[in-house]
Structure 1
Amino acid sequence: MNTLKRIMVGLDLSEMDDTLIRYTAFLCSISEIEKVYFIHAEKSLEIPTEVLEDMPNVIPADERLKVALEDKVRQYFGPDHRTQMAVQVVEGTPLKELLHWSKIKQIDMVLVGRKLRLRGSGVLAHKILRTGRMSVLFVPENAHPVLNHIVVSVDFSEYSLMALDRILHSALTRPEVQITCLHIYQVPTGYITLGMRYEDFDERMQGFARDKFEQVVARFPELGDRANLKLVKQGNDDDMGELIVVEAKREQADMLVIGAKGKSAAALFVLGSVTEKILRHNNDIPMIVYKKSNEAIGFLDALLSED
């Protein structure tokens, strides 16, 4: 079962485009992705009238940009590449156009750049994360095209198990790819009222996690012997997002996978979720945020209908 058939890549005519196209070509080479849509949105494609008067044979802006982007894409996708590709240059704001065309093209995942030093604010990545509907792969500007080890953040909720299920059936997880299920746990202060020592309750919490992991392995037999559970205790002063990123780096992960719960329109722009904290601290590891497609649809439709 391949749940990754059609992907969309957001381009902005910066150096980040090369990283995104190169990484996309790599993903297509190791999977059965059928079609890739490269899309660039310009706020205005209109050419001033005075320019048209002086240059009557000027090529329309969208056509000129499309040709340039097609040339760049061909640098990474050879003529024998089996994946179908399409380049679109559209007029409008990047966020709105990405959401609109991902809906029209029935996209399974959107790839966006994660900038650290390159030109650009990176605001688009955060806005896409907040929409609550699209699964997104954030590609850092220094990303390397390799995928041997995936770390999946697992708290045993339906969202983290959904993410594990999706990555297992994405065709990216080849048999040789190792999977680490990272579980962050806390020892609740209430252990004192039970008359137990801290060390004993800590061991009990780890035992609970191992039992749940055994249930996960039974639910996903395709994990086989290539998956392992890593337990990490969160201290009172530890930032959950930072801790997940640090542990993923310690594992030398090539990709970090999480499942994010959608937000209501009222809470959409409230920061502080674990997902956004992870994104805030993660500047180096490609990261997939899986979403449930039926969440926050009302807000998304309202956004797409704006003038």
Structure 2
Amino acid sequence: MNSLKRIMVGLDLSEMDDTLIRYTAFLCSISEIESVYFIHAEKSLDIPQEVLESMPTGMPADEKLRTSLIEKVEHYFGPDSRTQVEVLVVEGSPLKELLNLSKVNHIDLVVVGRKFHMRGSGLLAQKILRNGRVSVLFVPENEEPKLDHIVVSVDFSDYSLMALERMLTSALTKPNVRITCLHAYQVPSGYITLGMNYEDFDKRMQGFAHNKFAQVLERFPSLDGRATLHLVKQENEDDMGELLVVEAKRLKADLLVIGAKGLSAAALFVLGSVTEKMLRYNDDIPMIVYRKENEEIGFLDALLGND
């Protein structure tokens, strides 16, 4: 079953749009994505004339913007494209409009840009992840489409196994795509009380990880023979988010995948300490953050819902 049928791409009229449209077209060419919604949201469509000068005249501002975006999209999605494409320009809070449209259109994945040097802060992308119940793909600026090696961060929790399963059912993991399960482990300080030396307990932790990985292969038979387990040790002073990103870069990942814990009151700061730090340190690898479908957020909708 392909769980990646409908995706939404947030555009902001910057240079980032070309990167996002090109990368989305690449994803559609290697998968069975049925629908793509390219969406630009403006707080007000009372747009300065200088912004609209290069666009077609004789039509409302939203139609001018939409016509301009359609031309960009059609450059990458030709008439023979199997994917249904829709371009929308809406007025309102970008965050609220994107989250609402993702819910109404039953979006499986939101694609957003990850900016570093380009115009704009890129904060909207992280707000979508914090506030929404939808999975998000962050695409770095100037990213050239390629997908030969996927690295999945796996701590053997339900969330990481959910991310692995979603990745396997996304139709992006073609037979020629290598998959590496990246696991960061730590030797706990309490090993001394067990009468073991550091090296022996280190080996025990590695053995534990390999046993858990064997269970993963039993659960997902399609991984057998094509997925490998890669271990990296977290020293006391290491930042987990930075450690995972650095190792993924060293492995030359084309895509980094992680499962985010839910935004419950108890898990709010867990998300911030790992997932968001990975985003902070990751400047050149496309990264999918999978969320559990229909997971409740509760009162945090109101707490984090403003932009």
Q: TM-score range by the shorter chain?
A: over 0.9
- Equivalent residue for 1:98? 98
Output the CA distance in 1 between the equivalents of 2:63 and 2:286: 32
Measured at CA, do residues 269 and 104 of structure 1 come closer, stay the same or move farther in structure 2, by a change above 3 Å? farther
Output the CA distance in 1 between the equivalents of 2:21 and 2:213: 36
Output the CA distance in 1 between the equivalents of 2:304 and 2:247: 38
Output the CA distance in 2 between the equivalents of 1:257 and 1:176: 18
* 1:220 paired to 2:204: no
* 1:187 paired to 2:192: no
Output the CA distance in 1 between the equivalents of 2:229 and 2:246: 16
- Equivalent residue for 2:12? 12
Contact 2:40 2:89 in 1 (8 A): yes
Contact 1:96 1:303 in 2 (8 A): no
- Equivalent residue for 2:22? 22
Corresponding residue SS for 2:212: helix
Output the CA distance in 2 between the equivalents of 1:273 and 1:263: 12
Displacement of 1:296: 3.5
Displacement of 1:93: 1.4
After the TM superposition, which residues 1-307 of structure 1 pair with which residues of structure 2 at under 5 Å, given as runs? 1-46=1-46, 58-264=58-264, 268=268, 272-299=272-299, 302=302
Contact 2:264 2:300 in 1 (8 A): no
Output the CA distance in 1 between the equivalents of 2:171 and 2:69: 27
For residues 106-165 of structure 1, give each alpha carbon's deviation from its aligned partner in whole angstroms, at most 9, with x where no partner exists.
Answer: 000000000010000011111112125110000000212110000000000000000000
Output the CA distance in 1 between the equivalents of 2:271 and 2:213: 30
Output the CA distance in 2 between the equivalents of 1:297 and 1:272: 15
Give ranges in structure 1 of 5+ residues lacking alignment: 49-56
Output the CA distance in 1 between the equivalents of 2:31 and 2:108: 14
Contact 1:132 1:262 in 2 (8 A): no
How does the TM-score come out when normalised to structure 1? 0.92
Contact 1:132 1:295 in 2 (8 A): no
- Equivalent residue for 1:52? none
Measured at CA, do residues 270 and 223 of structure 1 come closer, stay the same or move farther in structure 2, by a change above 3 Å? closer
The one-letter amino acid paired with 1:247 is: E
Corresponding residue SS for 2:298: helix
Give ranges in structure 2 of 5+ residues lacking alignment: 49-56
Output the CA distance in 1 between the equivalents of 2:163 and 2:41: 29
Displacement of 1:305: 9.4
Measured at CA, do residues 131 and 257 of structure 1 come closer, stay the same or move farther in structure 2, by a change above 3 Å? same
The one-letter amino acid paired with 1:238 is: D
Output the CA distance in 1 between the equivalents of 2:64 and 2:233: 54
Contact 1:260 1:291 in 2 (8 A): yes
Q: CA RMSD in A?
A: 2.0
For residues 156-209 of structure 1, give each alpha carbon's deviation from its aligned partner in whole angstroms, at most 9, with x where no partner exists.
Answer: 000000000000000011011000000000000000001101000000000000
How does the TM-score come out when normalised to structure 2? 0.92
Moved beyond 4 Å, runs of 4+: 265-271, 299-306
Output the CA distance in 1 between the equivalents of 2:111 and 2:143: 13
- What is the identity percentage for the equivalent residue pairs of Structure 1 and Structure 2? 76
Output the CA distance in 1 between the equivalents of 2:271 and 2:5: 31
Measured at CA, do residues 134 and 144 of structure 1 come closer, stay the same or move farther in structure 2, by a change above 3 Å? same
Output the CA distance in 1 between the equivalents of 2:101 and 2:91: 12
Output the CA distance in 2 between the equivalents of 1:265 and 1:163: 22
